[in-house]
Structure 1
Amino acid sequence: MESETLLLGQTISFNADPFDAPPDDALVWRRRGGVLVRAGRIEAVAEAAALIDAHPHAARVNCGDHILAAGFVDCHNHYSQTRIVASWGERLIDWLNRYTFPEEMRFADPAHAAAVASDYLDLLTANGTTAAATYCTIHPESVDALFSAAEARGMAITAGKVMMDRNAPAGLCDDAQSGFDQSKALIDRWSGRGRLAYAVTPRFAPTSSETQLAAAGALWAEHPDLSMQTHLSEQVEEIDWVRQLFPDDEDYLAVYQRHGLCGPGAIMGHSIHLTARETAALAETGAAVAHCPTSNTFIGSGLCDVAGLKAAGVEVGLATDTGGGSSFSMLATMKAAYEVAQLRGRALHPAQLFWLATAGSARAMRRPAIGRLAPGAAADIIALDPAATPVLAQRTARAKDIFDILFALVILGDDRAISETWIAGHPTKGCYA
């Protein structure tokens, strides 16, 4: 019989999407709860006393008053930009030219790619992020480095080689054929290996020719179970540029639709300045939006209408978009999502924020085994300490309910509030050894 581990503490889980059901009812809180883990999977989530009685021989890990939750899922970031996080702003295209492209040139060197991949995964787990969808560079070496490091850690990582054949430095351009061939070889080498998943990754419409967009669409059509990730309607200048490059298309999303790059498994980063037609098309086709609030405010892009997208039937996940985003912390990203929603006239409930950062992102990535504290899900779990810092301790000591505590963690928490991160049942910090 496989050995069992029983994690004890407060637990939070979901029985419904809190955008579709009353948030207070969608989140399930157990003051004295437990999570039974076996062979990297969650076997049960229930009251602690019942689990102890039913599994008396399970190894016990007592987390006290810490809150056990599904690990965070970041559905859009750029691992290759790890070392340029917090670079002084400017607008999107200027930022790409000044910081991103010079840094991405370095990923032709496998040693550099491997070092950054290790740093990136360390930063994820330190902040309680147990799964992510990320962009590599045009270099196959960048994909190999990331997947090798993620495989060694047992992490659920979705990633892909960026495809771009124009409007970028020569050293960062492939061509339609090489982009297709290299991506296909990487799919054959990595997709479905362990907990790894490949995403077809045309960077965004302005950096791909018609021929390359068609090639990306053909590649995705050959592998329809994969994800496809790109950027959509991040800044108004970008939208104007797309209109100039593709004058015969009705709007930005129509460019992707025409090339077979919109549908279930499509993760559209940002999606701020959408037309009514684009919003309806996202919902109709089953494409998802990655909401990147720290990036959108840091680079001055705009305020994504998360509540409006959800009301229209669009799947939405939460994302750091590092390094354009300003933090690797999903708590900080939830805080920014709350503030952006406030500026749009809607206060997101704490349950909705935690949903976006876990199950919402997992749905966007089409990875049902992650982002849930539920039987059958991967044992990617975090423990949140509501008294991790003096300001958190004094605030949560007077909290009136679990939602008050969760909201305080969102607004005041950082990596210090992540007391443990388990990847497939294995602790990464050793706090409860």
Structure 2
Amino acid sequence: MSEPPAFHPVVLLPTYNNAPKLIGVLEQVVALGHTALVVNDGCTDDTAELLEGFIAELADVSSVTVVHHERNRGKGAALRTGFNEARKLGYTHALSMDTDGQHDPADAAALLNATEAQPTALVLGTRDANDPDYPSANRVGRVFSNLCIFIGSGRRIEDSQSGYRVYPLGLVETIQCRAGRYGYEAEILTRSGWAGCPLVQLPIRVIYPPGEERISHFRPWMDSLRSAALHLRLFVRAVLPLPFKKWPPPEEVKDEADALPKQAWWKRVLLWFDPRELVRSARRDRVSQMSVAAGLGVGAFVANLPVYPVQTLVAVYLAKRLHLHPVSTVAGSQLAFPPVGLALIFAAIYLGHFVLTGEPPRWSDFSELGSLSFSEIRGLMHEYFLSWWIGGVTLGTVIGLATFALGIMLLKWVPVESEGVVVASNRSPSGGAVAEGD
């Protein structure tokens, strides 16, 4: 029995109410010699009829497969359906392409060639953010999405919102993503970074039609809120000291990892704390610059938590898990130093107690702290510690976000070397490959 091929790709086309553009995209894909898998995500226009007519006229009907959703379930669900069907049909990789006419099918060859050269890699097509036709709102969303993925995984992404990608089906089977709709594409970038999956980023062309002809199902408010909730969930997972699923399997990359030169642990620690790297980050690119501000914000958040004996350790731990520079995170945590720290403690206790009981705390309980016995202080802590935690987390979130915003405003005046990152393929912090610049 012959072994299954290591590289057998299919072009995956999830579509929803893009009938005016879909058939033109599909014609180009087939004309270029690719096989296509279309997922009709509950379209309510004439997509189903057009697909049926298109397939009926094909000389080789096996070149196009169509899967239908009875109702619209979102892009994430459509991608998962396509991946499952592709595996059943014996494919090893799926090249996803949007059907709104903005992706050029001719670029598929370069993406597939990169995948064939490195079959375990996730290959990402990146759009030129400086294109004058690039929507300004999308540019802002792209920067913040890139930043969230960098903080969550340490992976520098040039275009996290690009849907033109090649997925190894082994990867999507190994790292199960829960997000639906547009969140799936951001979640798999983060989780692939945790997995140590190689990443290749290549420039692609984009065809921007006139505004009245553009097809978009993105809902700014609802989808932005979903994106924020997704990244918050991923941040929480990132800080948990639990192992991540790996792709490719560790035994496949062991020999390569063993061949890499290893540096003494204490040298790595010294380099990590090197303030010169913080300065370089503030000047490298906008995402790195914003990560410096994020470090200050996370530090300010820690400053409000009732963890004073180990506050610096908590700040350093979060810096490590969230791929922030420890100097900026520890600097932000210094907000807790007296006298500001005492004000934060009382503000947190007040806020937390009010949230729990609807009433302010009895300030007479704190008027003679210096003369209280150990048992009395312990009783006071027992009564107000939960209030301190609730108020500290709430107040810390607000102050952390304000510090982050202030940091961005101040760092905005620092000139950067580039607006993006160099597109390349190399090793990630977790052992995979990422864009150059990590």
TM-score above 0.5, yes or no: no
Q: Select the structure with the greater relative contact order (CA < 8 A; seq sep ≥ 6).
A: 1
Q: Which has the higher strand share?
A: 1
TM-score normalised to structure 2 length:
0.22
Highest CA radius of gyration, 1 or 2? 2
TM-score normalised to structure 1 length:
0.22
Q: Which has the higher helix share?
A: 2
